Amino acid sequence: MKKIGFIVNPIAGIGGRVGLKGTDSIEIQNEALKRGAIPIAADRTRRFLSHFSKFPEVKNVEFFIPKGKMGEEIFHSFQQTKFVIKYFVLDEIIIPDLTTSRETILCVKKLVSLNVDLIIFVGGDGTARDLHQALKSQTPILGIPSGVKMHSGVFAQSPEKGAEILRKFVMDEVYFMESEIIDLNEEKFRKDSIQTELYGLGIIPYVPTLMQSTKLMTKIEDTELENIEGIVKTLKNLIKQDVIYILGAGSTIKQVSKAFGSHISTNKTVLGIDAVINGTFLGKDLSEYGLLEILNKNKEREVIILLTPIGGQGFILGRGNQQISPNVLQIVGINNILIIASKNKLNKIERKTLHVDTGDLQLDEALIGYVKVLVDFEEYMMVKIS
């Protein structure tokens, strides 16, 4: 019987669609809620439980979970279905309405004292930092992605793939390795500046095809400048009048935005989602609501979304650009996405495979397959999305 600690950060990821780029502080949590943010961690947890409960190995697992919204409420509601999962509640730890890192740290220390075999957490890089701060042992950890920032290498690619990793863990079919726990400075992130810091290493049950890689910071090398210029020239030929272009996040999109004119390239946000038409901005650093507002006002116009993979990880949707939500994609259409990456960037992505984690399983499945990626002047590569 495997003893599995399980912690849900209930506010993880709520800042994504409203454009807040993280919710590590109570002040930002409150701001996210004021903007109409909807918590997503509970849904991500249910997806994990639903997938894991299909495996016979579920009978060989005991979960140890915090009270309230950090675990008990979700597990209890899940038990009202036909599935049966064994779990025990950490009754002695009080969970307030608005949780902070304090509760996570207390729960982790308690789980370590219970000698659990693995701690699974639902959250992002901030939650991973909390676990690292609390752990004074060699207890392995596994993240179920639910945050805005997920640059660390301790996360499964999706809740379902996290369930598959747990199954392999229970069957003793994993090997263990150390992986980086890194995080961004949220305040600078909101000001369109990237400052990352390595906080330590976590031990993970490693399954290469199911875990996400640590994000690599994309630095445009001299050898790539000609490559980027080729992409810009191609874009100039592709851009059409009266078409709305949603420019995704990332330094690559910032570099190639010069195809839309000097005003756009100078003012394009690196980390935000912007919309342009005919060389002018319709909106900058847009939330999901802002994007939907533009789309609803321009229902007759064609819309193209420009995306670039996250360096090293290969995610094109669901990491750092949650504003481009399933609702937005449904309006735009998945065939109106143009993916851009330098050859060097693609070569540094593990297995040269792209990933999506939009929060909508049916949409993710529709996106799976091969897609053309613009890599140079009128040059495309067929790349797999899985």
Q: Are 142 and 204 in contact (CB under 8 A)?
A: yes
Which has the closest alpha carbon to 123: 97, 103, 137, 139?
A: 103
Distances (CA, A) of 245 to 151, 195, 274, 299, 377: 27, 28, 8, 14, 20
pTM comes to 0.89
**Alpha-carbon span 115 to 53, nearest angstrom:** 23
**Alpha-carbon span 225 to 290, nearest angstrom:** 33
Instruction: Return the pLDDT at 356.
Output: 96
Q: Are 65 and 72 in contact (CB under 8 A)?
A: yes
Compute φ and ψ for 229, nearest 5 degrees. -65, -35
Phi and psi based region of residue 91 (left: phi greater than 0; alpha: psi -120 to 50; beta: remaining):
alpha
Compute φ and ψ for 166, nearest 5 degrees. -60, -40
> Is residue 94 within a helix (H) or strand (E), and if so which, with residue range?
none
Instruction: Return the pLDDT at 82.
Output: 64
* pLDDT digits (tens), the chain, 386 positions: 999 999 999 988 776 676 665 555 566 666 666 676 678 999 999 999 999 999 999 999 999 999 999 999 999 988 766 667 999 999 999 999 888 899 999 999 999 999 999 999 999 998 999 999 999 778 999 999 998 878 899 999 999 999 999 999 999 999 999 999 988 765 655 555 566 788 899 999 999 899 998 877 655 566 678 889 999 999 999 999 999 999 999 989 999 999 999 999 999 999 899 999 999 999 999 999 999 999 999 999 999 999 999 988 999 999 989 999 999 999 999 999 999 999 999 988 988 899 999 999 999 999 999 999 999 999 999 999 99
53 DSSP 8-state letter: T
Domains of the chain, CATH where assigned: 2-206 (3.40.50), 222-385 (no CATH)
**Alpha-carbon span 28 to 25, nearest angstrom:** 5
Which has the closest alpha carbon to 246: 189, 325, 315?
A: 325
What are the structure tokens assigned to 251, written together? 């330094």
331 DSSP 8-state letter: H
**Alpha-carbon span 255 to 306, nearest angstrom:** 12
What are the structure tokens assigned to 286, written together? 């847009």
Strand partners, 15: none
Which has the closest alpha carbon to 117: 164, 59, 154, 170?
A: 170
**Alpha-carbon span 371 to 364, nearest angstrom:** 14
What are the structure tokens assigned to 143, written together? 């993240």
**Alpha-carbon span 219 to 345, nearest angstrom:** 9
**Alpha-carbon span 222 to 229, nearest angstrom:** 12
